[in-house]
Structure 1
Amino acid sequence: MISIANEHIKVSFSKKGAELQSIKGIHSNTEFLWSGNADFWGKFSPVLFPIIGALKNDTYSFEDKTYQLPRHGFARDMDFDFEEINEHEVLFTLQHNEQTLKVYPFEFKLALRYKIHGSSVCCTYEVSNPGNKDLLFSVGGHPAFAAPLNKEGDYTDYYLQFNNDDELTYHHIVDNLISDQTSTIKLHNGKLCLKHELFYDDALVFKNLKSDSISLLNDKNYNGLDFNFKDFPYFGIWAAKDADFVCLEPWCGIADSVNHNQQLAQKEGINTLAPNGFWERTWQVTCF
């Protein structure tokens, strides 16, 4: 485990997947991330790259060749190189290699830069294209936050507060793919109460979320967090069945639709980066 800390929080990571694994309040001793209990879901905050969600039949085509990739891609299961920038900032990097090129025919450099300041953690995804052709990719986050915090209270004591939505229209998932079927949840003053049944049919996937900040709050005490994200066109909210966490997932990309033709260049939400290009997005969580 790799850790950085200040007087407010201590944050820990694994080199595997450059995965954030703990955000702990120094004074309150509160753990804000999910415990990683493998009986429900054994991850904490995986990076999703070079795809998000599932491909139709787990395959895609590019330049008349067919390739296979697992759900959410391969980066989350690979060991990243690590560099400590200073006592409050770390950088993890992953580059293409012989194995990645067999399933994803692009040269790339993916970096995850984590910074802490006050009681906030910033996660920045940085994508570079060292190749001589366009790089096609998706990237996104999957952090799981504990609910309840400190095991105080119940799941249903917690709610999500949206800063700019009064209703949520989400796409249903069918066999891991995005369908055209939608449902709408009416919010009361931007508030979505958590209950396990919300996620019994998989994640809630949003294509037109207006909010760029979501807070995890509760009715029992002051503890919670603010999750801020900008320029992520898609968003997912998910929890494993009956697990005491909620994932807040900002995405630049989305799973295949049920009707997708499996052409990577025509995939919804795919990002295109020119040779020698650079791309970045940041999300931030502030704990209290």
Structure 2
Amino acid sequence: MTTTKISSDVLEITVATFGAELHSIKKDGIEYLWQGNPEFWARKAPILFPIVGKLKNGSYRYNDENFKMAGHGFARDNMFKLIDSDEDDLVFELKDSKETKLSYPFDFRLRVSYKLRGNKLLVKWEVKNQDEQEMYFGIGAHPAFNVPLESGTFEAYKLTITPTQSRQFIPLDPETGTLDLDKKTLLEQNEFSLTHDLFKDDALIFETPKATEVVLSNSIDNRSVKIAWKNMPFLGLWSPYPAQAPFVCIEPWCGIADDENTDGDLTTKFGINSLDPGKKFKAEYTIEIN
């Protein structure tokens, strides 16, 4: 597997060409990113495109034609091309192919960039519709962080969502991977002490219509991870259950799984993005390492 390493005066990251997936984030010689273990979860930080989460029955309908697609889409399982790089900046690109057309009938270009600035990593996505028809898609992040980062136990850590306010919480059915929008509730809780039981019903999913930050921190030292974004409407927090996995995922999304009551039409799917021919969609988030 081909990987590329870049560094700032504080951080060192490694990114793989396969999936344009982040493979390492190091500070002070300490690895912050989960390194993948099939016993729990073999991936590290996959890019979710052109869907986020699972489709009901693993399929969708577009223009009266049915398509099958695995959860989180195909970008994570495709080889990207490294199109630009310097000492602290990488840009990867994926385009449609005969293979992608089997599950996704659009001409597209996806660019993913990684930029290091001190103790921050800026991740940018650019989706371009290269088709002659309107394009529908979702895109999301799925980075996993080691818990503990350096010392302590899983239970010594917490996740804090800011700003402090109530948020819409969307339940997920762990058996089907679909949402139950009819049971969406307003949740006042902004701080979550980590326990493995926290994820017994799969991912915790929230609507984040405004600028949002999530901090992974502990009660032992000052090491922490902060994920921040301005324009991602959904957030997923996840760790495998019932496995006692030593990591947690903090996932900003521009897209989301199907509602269990969906009719399967891609154009009306909950949380879907649409893009006119020739237009571009851009989104970004930062990972701050302390």
Indicate the residue corresponding to 1:265 in structure 2: 267
User: Secondary structure of 2:172's partner?
Assistant: strand
> 2:194 & 2:166 partners in 1: Cα distance?
15
TM-score with structure 1 length normalisation? 0.94
> 1:23 & 1:83 partners in 2: Cα distance?
21
State the 1:117 CA deviation.
0.6
State the 1:103 CA deviation.
1.1
> 1:45 & 1:172 partners in 2: Cα distance?
23
> 1:132 & 1:125 partners in 2: Cα distance?
21
Which AA in structure 2 matches 1:129? Answer: N
Indicate the residue corresponding to 1:221 in structure 2: 221
Which AA in structure 1 matches 2:280? Answer: F
> 1:262 & 1:46 partners in 2: Cα distance?
25
Indicate the residue corresponding to 2:58 in structure 1: 58
* 1:125-204 matched pairs, under 5 angstroms: 125-150=125-150, 152-167=151-166, 169-174=168-173, 175-179=176-180, 180-182=182-184, 186-187=188-189, 190-204=190-204
User: Secondary structure of 2:249's partner?
Assistant: strand
Q: Contact 1:58–1:70 at 8 Å: present in 2 too?
A: yes
TM-score with structure 2 length normalisation? 0.94
User: Secondary structure of 1:103's partner?
Assistant: coil
User: Secondary structure of 1:72's partner?
Assistant: coil
Distance 1:130 1:145, change over 3 A: same
Deviations 1:205-225 (A, max 9, x none): 112565611111110001112
Q: Percent identity?
A: 34
* 1:118-129 matched pairs, under 5 angstroms: 118-129=118-129
State the 1:167 CA deviation.
4.6
Query: Is 64-73 or 157-166 further displaced after alignment?
Result: 157-166
Distance 1:237 1:209, change over 3 A: farther
Q: Contact 1:178–1:257 at 8 Å: present in 2 too?
A: yes
> 1:167 & 1:276 partners in 2: Cα distance?
38
Indicate the residue corresponding to 1:105 in structure 2: 105
Indicate the residue corresponding to 2:247 in structure 1: 245
Which AA in structure 1 matches 2:18? Answer: K
User: Secondary structure of 1:197's partner?
Assistant: helix
Q: Does 1:116 align with 2:116?
A: yes
Q: Contact 1:108–1:127 at 8 Å: present in 2 too?
A: yes
> 2:137 & 2:169 partners in 1: Cα distance?
23
Indicate the residue corresponding to 2:12 in structure 1: 10
> 1:209 & 1:216 partners in 2: Cα distance?
21
User: Secondary structure of 2:123's partner?
Assistant: strand
Over the aligned positions, Cα root-mean-square deviation in angstroms equals 1.5
Distance 1:142 1:266, change over 3 A: same
> 2:263 & 2:20 partners in 1: Cα distance?
32
User: Secondary structure of 1:93's partner?
Assistant: strand
Q: Contact 2:210–2:233 at 8 Å: present in 1 too?
A: no
Q: Does 1:254 align with 2:253?
A: no
State the 1:84 CA deviation.
3.4
Q: Does 1:232 align with 2:222?
A: no
Which AA in structure 2 matches 1:157? Answer: A
Deviations 1:111-135 (A, max 9, x none): 1111001011111011011111111
> 1:229 & 1:210 partners in 2: Cα distance?
9
Distance 1:129 1:185, change over 3 A: closer
Number of residue pairs the alignment of both structures matches = 283
> 1:193 & 1:276 partners in 2: Cα distance?
45
Query: Is 158-167 or 50-59 further displaced after alignment?
Result: 158-167
Which AA in structure 2 matches 1:154? Answer: T
Q: Contact 1:164–1:210 at 8 Å: present in 2 too?
A: no
> 1:14 & 1:50 partners in 2: Cα distance?
19
Structure 2, unaligned runs of 5 or more: none
State the 1:193 CA deviation.
1.0
Q: Contact 1:162–1:211 at 8 Å: present in 2 too?
A: no
Deviations 1:52-75 (A, max 9, x none): 111111111100101100000011
Q: Contact 2:209–2:232 at 8 Å: present in 1 too?
A: no
Which AA in structure 2 matches 1:267? Answer: K
Q: Contact 1:237–1:246 at 8 Å: present in 2 too?
A: yes
Which AA in structure 2 matches 1:277? Answer: K
* 1:31-50 matched pairs, under 5 angstroms: 31-50=31-50
